[in-house]
Amino acid sequence: MLEKTKQKTKQKNVCTRNKGITLIALVITIIVLLILAGVSIYTILGDNGVVNKANEAKQADEISNIEDAVNDKVITSFSSTGEINKSKLLNKLNEIPGVSELPEDDSYSFPLLFKVNEYYAKVDELGNVEVSIEKPQMPVYASEDTSYVGYYADLDGNASNGPEGIIYADLAHDNSGEWHYSYNNFSYKKENAKLKKYTVGEDVAGGFGSYSAPVIKAVDGIDGTDRFYVMALEDLVSINGNSYYYWYYNGKDKMNDYATTTYTEFGKGKVNTNNMLSKYNSTSYGDRYTSDLWGSEELKSNVNEGWFVPSKDEWSAFGYMVENIVGNESYSLYYSDFGLGVYYWSSSQYDSSNAWFANFDGGYMNYKYVTDYDEVIRLSTTF
């Protein structure tokens, strides 16, 4: 009897264990199935899933088709002068199925933004086409109705390097003035030729002391005349650390042709610089001398990149800008607050022995012997 009872108990334990194993297997199977289902769903609906891949491929195909359609219309809209005929382009674009948000007439400006179905299309004045599902950020272009004197200039187009200079003249406008005294006057006329195109940055920059202002940048690929005169933000320093220069040490009393070699007027700095480099190289006014301005290798290197020593009136225009725009018309401002030294040579001769210089101690132009040695150099350029 006892033996039979033990046998029944053993059979019961085996049965219970078998049931236990079956439940564990079932739970594991369910978990595995859930994992497989999740993987399958992610494979189909995830960010890199089949559905998204298919939608991306469809979108890319639609964008490509729209780009082709818009390009075809742009190509046939160029005039014989190589510029886009705005009226013709507008008519051509209206032929594209699903096009919307086009301007009503040809008074629009580039880049032209419109829609084709749910996509945004952008055409610039060079005929470049961009199509995207998201509305693109449109650049802010510099208007010729606005003066940008006092703005910073990004000359190399690399915003990460910061601006290289500050604008002190805008040739989209006539301008004149005087820097404290009547003999420090300047004037320039509006440039009638087609000007380059520029964008105005949304962020402000610094570099001219603590002064902050937006940055102007030229649009690549668009021909035109330079609109702005720009002053460098730093003085020219020689490779050996020298900051001071003679104008032309051995030229004193020998510059008898000064009236036809250099000029005081605005816009003559580049001509003056090239003429004086030629004179110096040919020792027309005497032998070369250590620390002469025109013998500086750093100057020559920068001249090859388009920089020049400003003329008398260009310095006056710059001083006027600092005092009336950057310095808020304060006669008592400290020019050193903007990183300026005391005396700066101009490229303009005064007579056979003297040259003009900018005095940022008192705020005016004056002249000194070309043998004087307490002047530094700051260069200007156009862009």
pLDDT, residue 334, reads 73
pLDDT, residue 331, reads 44
pLDDT, residue 52, reads 74
Taking each helix axis from N to C end, the angle separating 50-75 and 86-93, rounded to the nearest 10 degrees, works out to 140
359: three-class secondary structure by DSSP? strand
Give the number of residues written for the chain: 383
pLDDT, residue 157, reads 86
pLDDT along the chain (383 residues), means of 10: 50 51 77 71 63 82 95 94 92 95 91 95 92 90 95 90 95 94 92 94 88 93 93 86 91 95 98 98 95 94 97 97 74 75 96 96 94 95 97
Ordered strands of the 129-132 beta sheet = 99-100, 112-116, 119-123, 129-132
Q: Are residues 248 and 370 in contact, defined by beta-carbon separation less than 8 angstroms?
A: yes
Exposed e or buried b per residue across 43-59, where buried means at least 16 C-beta atoms within 10 angstroms of its C-beta: eeeeeeeeeeeeeeeee
